[in-house]
Structure 1
Amino acid sequence: MTKLIPTLIPLLIAAALAPALAQGQDLKVALIAGKTGALETYAKETETGFMMGLEYLTGGKMEINGRKLKVIVKDDQSKPDLGRTLLAEAYGDDKVDIAVGTSSSGSAIAMLPVALEYKKVLIIEPAVADAITGDKWNRYIFRTARSSMQDALAAAMVSPAGSYAFLAQDYAFGRDAVKAAKEALIAAGGKAKVVHEEYAPVATTDFTSSAQRIFDALKDKPLPRVLSIVWAGPHPMNKVADMKPERYSITLAPNGNILPVMKTWKSFAGTQGTIYYYYAFPKNKMNDWLVAEHTRRFKTPPDVFTAGGFAAASAVHTALSKAGSGDSEKLIKTMEGMEFETPKGKMSFRKEDHQAIQPMYHFRIKKEQKNEWDLLELVREIPAGEMPLPIRNKR
């Protein structure tokens, strides 16, 4: 009979127990969001949607394949340096299996190299800058949020011709969105001409000079004359409208926004635009639950970023369930081309750049509103297949 060397016995026991120990370990997820600062509302919605998504998908157990699911929430204050530090802390100290974040595109871009350094998956939600799945991308990056180009392609289908001007914030989100919008208008047939781009500081409250420059640039140009406003946070549409752009036959074209902002647009009945999500548009079991449960708990329907957080939770849950572990290589293999259900319906991660392919919505502001949140009517759902989203990461 073979005798075991005493010093080998503990090693053999540890090896035998390793699968069982791994099976029993918690699965850890980091959620990084700008919970203080200009994007506080977006972050709060994202966190609410993320936690409600995990609750729904796990049947309230917060378990995946019998393993407890632990969510570690961190506030990057929408600051790139802090976002980078917190993600490194999540991967290195907290030993999370996967991370999700963040609210600001600038902070999200700063976080991308950290995912590469630690060789850990990072799901981007809700930052939209095209660079995230473009020239700044790496193989550990997936995005459930829509991109600036997806926003732009949808918007271009609503007003593909005429003379355009843009008012946007002077930082990564605003400039990226305008760049995408110009390309999208070309993709929509090239009948529109962009005559002016106006960038204002993020904290701007007086839009008099900006609006006047836009009016002067548009007023003699061919009809229709469209002013597209791309803005995060407190929206300037009412202030611009007070300056009476209709004097110059200029139409305002807002992108969709959060419910408290759109609630102030009641005087713009009939105005059309596009949006990532509005609670009354998708018709599916998951959205029905989200709308009913969110309304019951918070006395308001879910918002744009609530749905985004829920979508990120679904991607996390689907990936960890199918991969069977938090191993990064198994997750990447699982997630490339992976389909997952969201409140908007089915999404899938495109294999080439890991961007979530998804529909968008063409809306009209209602003339008759039954209550304070009955704001939009659906013109049509824009299928993902109608938006020719370019691949830009040069993989």
Structure 2
Amino acid sequence: MGVITSVTGPLAGYADQEIKGLRLGLEYATGGTMEVLGRPIEVIVEDDTGSPDVGKQKAIKLLEQDGVHILQGSASTPVALAVAEQAKLYEVIYMIDPAAGDQLTTTDFNPYIFRTGGNTTQDALTGGKATVENLGRTIVHLAPDNAFGTSSQDAWNPIFEQYGGTVIRNINAPLDAKDFATYLQQVIELNPEVLMVTWSGGNALKLFQQIGELGLFDRMKVTTSIGDRASLIGMGDAAVGMNGVVRYFYTLPDNPVNDWLVKEHIARYGEPPDLFTAGGMAAGIAIVEGIKKAGSTDAGDLIPALEGMSFEGPKGTYTFRPEDHQALQPMYFVELVKDPDHDYPIPKLVAELSPEETAPPVNVPGR
């Protein structure tokens, strides 16, 4: 198996979570043997550095030189788009997580793509209505100036408007920005009721620190897709009471798979699993279960085996929708609260939405 993800660069933290989760998922699904169909599972990790061109070359290397049977990754949507083209060309399964851009399972879909991670429309369906009804109707949407950022705005904004909200403006900042003051000053001048923040990367810590320093938490409601532990630490107590969507937080699911993940992750790494650890684990479980069902690693056998397949992962039951290969899964709307066992605000469940409630529209040309 070849993993292509951002071992270095702004998304390195997400990649680390993904890889740890993937290895634990493979171990869990194989009962600790790390074998399937009587063959050992080998994982080769390549660093895409956040560059689509590098990701493409690493995919070719893994497929031609290493002879991998399955690809997995990436932390970056632009990289995942580049790798997906190679998966199609070489006819191998590409199990995507955590890249969330909608286009991977809509306009740029190909039959070799399967995604265990949530996509941006699933986030939007979880949080869009709740934002307008509970936080405010005039909204500014801040996101990165890349494929993930613009696809997030394209996914969220119509849902805000569907429920009576008005998006005053989209603001896009560089993914590697080191200072967000210029962009946040624009938000202050526009004076919306709600600032929607869609962000991914190590500088999310800096972004939320500056949101606090510039007083935006006091001026307006701030909502977001809740980030990883570093983001929660960065937001600090100023974010207590903030609502948002979270893909995963280790205290939210109540099932045996998550119990195993939390126990093993703490035992091995000295800390609980993080935001994208669960997605990596789900990818590992899905790969093993798919191979078992197909009796093969060939894409021609795996595609029909995976289409419509349900499996148990750390969030509960996941199902690959046959039309677009997106995994439908439980989603969480939460409030950030103080907790005596943590030195940062943690997500408290407001509502768990079912896979059916947050199923995005099928938007694959010709399907």
Range class of TM-score, shorter chain: over 0.9
Distance in structure 1 (CA, Å) of the matches to 2:102 and 2:9: 23
Deviates more, 1:93-102 or 1:135-144: 93-102
Distance in structure 2 (CA, Å) of the matches to 1:229 and 1:245: 12
Please give the residue correspondences for 1:295-310 in structure 2 after superposition, counting only pairs within 5 Å.
Answer: 295-310=266-281
Task: Give the Å deviation of 1:247.
Answer: 5.9
Q: Deviation per CA, 1:314-364, whole angstroms, max 9, x where unpaired?
A: 110111111001121110010110111110011011000101111111111
Task: Give the Å deviation of 1:184.
Answer: 2.3
8 Å Cα contact 1:153-1:185 kept in structure 2:
no
In structure 2, the residue matched to 1:387 is: 358
8 Å Cα contact 2:26-2:288 kept in structure 1:
yes
Task: Give the Å deviation of 1:388.
Answer: 4.4
8 Å Cα contact 1:263-1:375 kept in structure 2:
no
Please give the residue correspondences for 1:102-117 in structure 2 after superposition, counting only pairs within 5 Å.
Answer: 102-117=74-89
2:349 matches 1:378: yes
Judged with a 3 Å threshold, the aligned counterparts in structure 2 of structure 1 residues 376 and 181 are, in CA distance, closer, same or farther, namely same
5+ residue gaps, structure 1, are 1-28, 220-224
2:178 matches 1:205: yes
In structure 2, the residue matched to 1:361 is: 332
Judged with a 3 Å threshold, the aligned counterparts in structure 2 of structure 1 residues 336 and 238 are, in CA distance, closer, same or farther, namely same
8 Å Cα contact 2:331-2:358 kept in structure 1:
no
Q: Deviation per CA, 1:160-210, whole angstroms, max 9, x where unpaired?
A: 341110111111111111111112224xx4310100111111222322221
Judged with a 3 Å threshold, the aligned counterparts in structure 2 of structure 1 residues 247 and 276 are, in CA distance, closer, same or farther, namely closer
User: Which AA in structure 2 matches 1:166?
Assistant: H
In structure 2, the residue matched to 1:168 is: 143
Please give the residue correspondences for 1:86-105 in structure 2 after superposition, counting only pairs within 5 Å.
Answer: 86-105=58-77
Distance in structure 2 (CA, Å) of the matches to 1:54 and 1:372: 32
Q: Deviation per CA, 1:290-315, whole angstroms, max 9, x where unpaired?
A: 10111122121101111111010011
Secondary structure, aligned partner of 2:68: coil
Secondary structure, aligned partner of 1:389: coil
User: Which AA in structure 1 matches 2:349?
Assistant: L
Q: Deviation per CA, 1:2-30, whole angstroms, max 9, x where unpaired?
A: xxxxxxxxxxxxxxxxxxxxxxxxxxx11
Distance in structure 1 (CA, Å) of the matches to 2:35 and 2:318: 23
In structure 2, the residue matched to 1:196 is: 169
Task: Give the Å deviation of 1:39.
Answer: 0.9
Secondary structure, aligned partner of 1:240: helix
Tell me how large the CA RMSD over aligned residues is. Answer: 1.5
Judged with a 3 Å threshold, the aligned counterparts in structure 2 of structure 1 residues 317 and 388 are, in CA distance, closer, same or farther, namely closer
Output the TM-score relative to the length of structure 2. Answer: 0.94
Please give the residue correspondences for 1:73-88 in structure 2 after superposition, counting only pairs within 5 Å.
Answer: 73-88=45-60
Secondary structure, aligned partner of 2:110: coil
Among residues 95, 114, 117, which one is paired with 1:145 in the alignment?
Answer: 117
5+ residue gaps, structure 2, are none
Distance in structure 2 (CA, Å) of the matches to 1:85 and 1:388: 33
The structure that has the greater radius of gyration is 1
Distance in structure 2 (CA, Å) of the matches to 1:68 and 1:321: 13
Give the share of equivalent positions with the same residue, in percent.
35
In structure 2, the residue matched to 1:19 is: none
In structure 2, the residue matched to 1:347 is: 318
In structure 2, the residue matched to 1:243 is: 214
In structure 2, the residue matched to 1:232 is: 200
Q: Deviation per CA, 1:38-64, whole angstroms, max 9, x where unpaired?
A: 111111111101011111121221111
In structure 1, the residue matched to 2:226 is: 256
Judged with a 3 Å threshold, the aligned counterparts in structure 2 of structure 1 residues 261 and 246 are, in CA distance, closer, same or farther, namely closer
User: Which AA in structure 2 matches 1:339?
Assistant: S
User: Which AA in structure 2 matches 1:135?
Assistant: T
Distance in structure 2 (CA, Å) of the matches to 1:144 and 1:368: 30
Deviates more, 1:196-205 or 1:281-290: 196-205
8 Å Cα contact 1:37-1:78 kept in structure 2:
yes
Secondary structure, aligned partner of 1:348: strand
Distance in structure 2 (CA, Å) of the matches to 1:369 and 1:264: 18
Distance in structure 2 (CA, Å) of the matches to 1:363 and 1:283: 16
Task: Give the Å deviation of 1:93.
Answer: 2.3
